[in-house]
Structure 1
Amino acid sequence: MSQDPERFDSMLLAMAQQHEGGVKELLGTIVSFLARKTDFFTGGKEGEWEKVVKDTFYTHAKKAKDEADKIKKEKLEAEKRLKEIQQKKEQERLAKDFEPASVTELTEQEAEELQETIEKEKKKEPESGSGEASGNEEEKTPEEEDDPEEKGKIKPNAGNGCDLEHYRWTQTLEEVELRVPLRQTLRPRDLTIIINKRHLKVGIKGQPFIIDGELDADVKIEESTWVLQDGRNILINLEKVNQMNWWSRLVTTDPQISTKKINPEPSKLSDLDGETRGLVEKMMYDQRQKEMGLPTSDEQKKQDVLKKFMEQHPEMDFSKCKFN
């Protein structure tokens, strides 16, 4: 009958705790006991004790290795099962997210109220539009009226973008913010929003796209995001690739705004690093100088250098010289 291998564990553990040198010191004590109190090393044939030690150690080493391999295998199988469960849950979630949007039918009373709201909004739009138009006409200068490039362009909204029938967009030098209001409460899975480097698609599944067009300039796809707010408003942030230019429109099918009338907020400009802010301020200054028919900063610098040189050399005649 095999004996219980754990019957001496408590005794051996107590011994092990007394050996600060660890297993090696514990083995030394056991071997010393065998040498001093038994004939383990001298009672048998030559080399017999070595065979006993080798067989004993290798037998228990194999058992320890088999046990470790078993535990490792069980751990891998458990991790595999966990991964399969997670994948199954993810597939179920994705399948649920891509279910077609459910359509909620309105009662007659709700439909009438909605129609009244739409009619009121339609009545308000021409009034506000005519007011803006008259304001723009008053603000136009003779130079703008004569400039063919400005003909047909509209004044930017307060956010340096444009308010259109189905959406509103604003911009800074770094990004464009787009807001698309919805007429019904939806979930993210009911929407189709695709942001490419130079193309944007926004819409409700099963319906024509609200926006489907080429963007005014390239955007950073990995830095651009969208979110559905309160189920009724889509908010999209597009990170510009070129952060030195203003967009004149969101997509190429939109009416253009006059970028000459854009006035960036000082707080936004101050958010830029020193080098970028200096370049932006220089560009804005040069643009204003050109509009007024005055020299740009580079041209002014050349004129100042020439003026200083002429003052230092009054004996020279510069009347017939041409400088670019």
Structure 2
Amino acid sequence: MMEEYPHDAALFALASRHEKPEEFLETVFSFLQRRSPLFDGGVQAVEDAVLNIVKKYGKKAAATRFQEIEDEKDRKKREEARKEAEMRRREKEWDEEKKRQREELQKRKQKAEEKNKKQDAKSSEPPKFEEISEEGEGSEKVTKLESADAEENEDPNLQTPNAGNGGYTDNYVWTQTLQDLEVRFRIPLNIKTKDIVSSITPTKLSLGIKGETALIDGTLDDRIDPDESFWQRGKTATSGVYRN
């Protein structure tokens, strides 16, 4: 139960008229000296009385400060526990998301391996080149997009980005997203998977036919994750997916 202090309002109004607590005390003692018998017993009696009052309220102040410190400790413990619980929750979500991505990548790799095996099983045929398109697998021809603005470009050698925010060369067509770079290579369909050589590092990638000049061999502008990247043979194209 909270203590009642009926004189707080009047004392606060009086104290607010002083800049320092000592000035307020001086006003109080001036009043007591003039309007009360406090000093009739001598200065020593006044000092003893004041000292007893100071000790009494000094203990209360110390107890209050101690409780404030303990309350602050409890508050910090609760805050740390809340942060730790939040971190565990986020770590669990991250682990679940990583697991989902790994499972998805594993499925894509397995699918790519199955396609490669089926491609190797085909009988040898006269060289016939894959038809690749900037628009994705299943298109019938290589489409080199042009626009009216290209003629006005200061550099006539600059390509207009294709529908996949990429471009093309004589050997491949590439598209990209914020996470993936996909390259579709021009390789004869009778070339078996075992005759295709590929190297993937965080900063470089190459792919080509064994014993021939690589179709792509260069340094990347950004790093990729080799463990998250792969290449595969499809029915109409050989493609590589490189993930950062």
- Provide the TM-score with structure 1 as the length reference: 0.36
Q: Larger RCO: Structure 1 or Structure 2 (Cα < 8 Å, ≥ 6 residues apart)?
A: 2
